[in-house]
Amino acid sequence: MALKIYNTLTRSVEEFVPLDPVGKQVGMYCCGPTVHDYAHIGNFRTFAFADLVRRFLTSQGFNVHHVMNITDVEDKIIKRVRNSNGSLRDYTKKFEDAFTEDLKTLGCHTAQSIPRATEHIPEIIDLVERLLKKGFAYVADGSVYFNIEKYRSGGHQYGQLLNLNFEQMRSGERVKSDEYEKESVADFALWKARTPDDGEVFWGSPWGEGRPGWHIECSAMSMKILSPSFDLHLGGEDLIFPHHEDEIAQSEGAGLQAHGHRFVKYWMHGAHLLVEGKKMSKSLGNYFTLRDLLDKGFTGREVRYLLLSSHYRAPFNFTLEGLTAARSALSRVDECLGKLREIAGDRTGDVPQALLVPFETALQNDLNVADAWSVVFDWVRSVNKALAAGPIPPLDAAGHLGFWTSVNAIFNVGLEVIQNEIPIEILELLNQRQEARKSKDFKKSDQIRNELQSLGWTIEDTPKGPKLKKL
């Protein structure tokens, strides 16, 4: 079965066929973080989804060039830089580094290309100049705006990703803000003239000192790195309009694509994430960064599992109870794998196709993770049933482990993800217990076991030594 995905551009599920004539190279762009603060758990649903797409494409034999931009200049950033009394780079670096660390904690691949907007000012200026020459942009008070009516009258469609009712929506207005009202079809800023509030955040341009608008940044960076036409653009559904619609307009308005080609062939968007059934808000107390969840005792793999447990196009309710359930589900997998490893030793075996085929088929169907996880947990139940009935041949156990290797190459929630997350003090208590057992001080050994349990860890004694498990 070929991979099929829902394309926002056509509002339909389509077979994924890359632009590469050989059918192997895939250019994939995902809108990255705006580094004005720590990323929240809603942001990470998008990035976990992008990592899933990349991993599955790779498993299907594609060579993926993954690009994720860093938005390091825009309205909110400039305001906070002004209040920080530091430089733009000093401010953004802190949150960019934190984001990179959070991605690692979640087991996400690092993108092969991570362009920053501030490092692509020449490309942005070139793109704006091209739009001016085409007649799709105009200068007003030192700023440059995209002219939607001129773009439409030139035979282009504005509203490719969603249907826009130009009679009902306010049109013909001009907006300078990077984020503007969803009901407004407005000429948007490509280049913003410098104001006193910008401080030292500005660059020279043919139109005077200023800075780029948010939307033009992604167009300039994606087309420079991946070419004017590429395969796949990802992001949260909140970016469909105006951000992604504006990307299409300015990218295709510049006329850099070959005849008959679009800026992007496939658009994939992840649905909103609710927290405890409500929109995330600091005032409601349901606003979580990844660091907040780690402070509550959860691990990166548990958060990742929960984020990847629901279909990317379905709205998802993220709860602390769900994280606890994720811990329980992963514990069941860990326990099953532990038993299989003891039987298999260092052997390798053939992966049962009766498991692998339905797992891959589920994901080929627009990344149906629910069905894919059903295959995994049906497998866990069948293995546990077989183990209860009697020993499994070592080669069969090795084959089952091979199946998990294929699963984990895509979901990346294996136990090894958290090995570095076991606190040093917990490992030290484990060592102390082992010393107590060696010296036959079983009273002390039991005391340490109880102490570990009070800290949220249990010890499973196996023939190959003790194993720590998170409660």
Collapsing DSSP to helix, strand or coil, 33 comes out as coil
Tell me if 67 is assigned to some domain: yes
- Closest by CA to 67, choosing from 108, 138, 115, 9, is 115
Q: Which residues of 141-173 are buried (b: 16+ CB within 10 A; e: fewer)?
A: eebbbbbbebbbeeebebbbbeebeeeeeebee
The answer as to whether 402 is a domain residue is no
d(CA 163, CA 147) in angstroms, rounded, equals 19
User: Which pLDDT score, from 0 to 100, does residue 181 have?
Assistant: 66
Q: Which residues contact 400 (CB under 8 A, 6 or more apart)?
A: 340, 344, 349, 352, 379, 383, 392
Q: Answer whether residue 436 is part of any domain.
A: yes
Number of domains in the chain: 2
* Residue-number span of the structural domain to which 471 is assigned: 422-471
Residue 276, CB-side half-sphere exposure with 13 Å CA sphere: 9
> Which two three-digit tokens encode residue 438?
């060696």
Other Cβ atoms less than 10 A from the Cβ of 97: the count is 11
Q: What is the dihedral of CA 461, 465, 470, 471, to 10 degrees?
A: 0
- Is 355 inside any structural domain? no
Whether the Cβ atoms of residue 456 and residue 471 lie closer than 8 Å to each other: yes
pLDDT of residue 444: 87
CB atoms within 10 A of CB 391: 10
pTM over 0.95: no
Q: Which residues pair with 264 in a beta bridge?
A: 230
| Residue 313 belongs to a domain | no
Cite the DSSP H helix spans in 2-109: 41-59, 75-84, 88-105
**Structure tokens of 237?**
């559904």
Q: Which amino acid is at 470?
A: K
The domain spanning residue 213 has which CATH number?
Answer: 3.40.50.620
Domain end (from 255, 270, 285): 270
Which of 226, 241, 270 is at the close of a domain?
A: 270
Cα distances (angstroms) measured from residue 379 to each of 156, 324, 349: 51, 22, 16
- Beta carbons of 101 and 56 less than 8 angstroms apart: no
**188 within some domain:** yes
Which two tokens mark 194? Answer: 């410098």
User: Per the domain annotation, does 309 fall within a domain?
Assistant: no
In the chain, the amino acid numbered 452 is L
| pLDDT for the residue 245 | 97
Two tokens, residue 64: 């993926």
* Calpha distance 268→419 (Å, rounded): 33
Q: Name the domain boundary from 270, 292, 311.
A: 270
Token pair listed for 369:
């993770």
Is the bond into 358 cis (omega within 30 degrees of 0)? no
Compute mean pLDDT per 10 residues along the chain, 471 residues long, and list them.
Answer: 95 98 97 95 97 97 98 94 91 96 95 98 98 97 95 96 83 78 83 95 97 97 98 97 96 97 98 91 86 93 97 96 96 93 92 97 98 98 95 95 96 70 72 80 88 84 70 69
Reported as half-sphere exposure (CB side, CA atoms, 13 A), residue 222 has a value of: 31
- Residue 293 covered by a domain: no
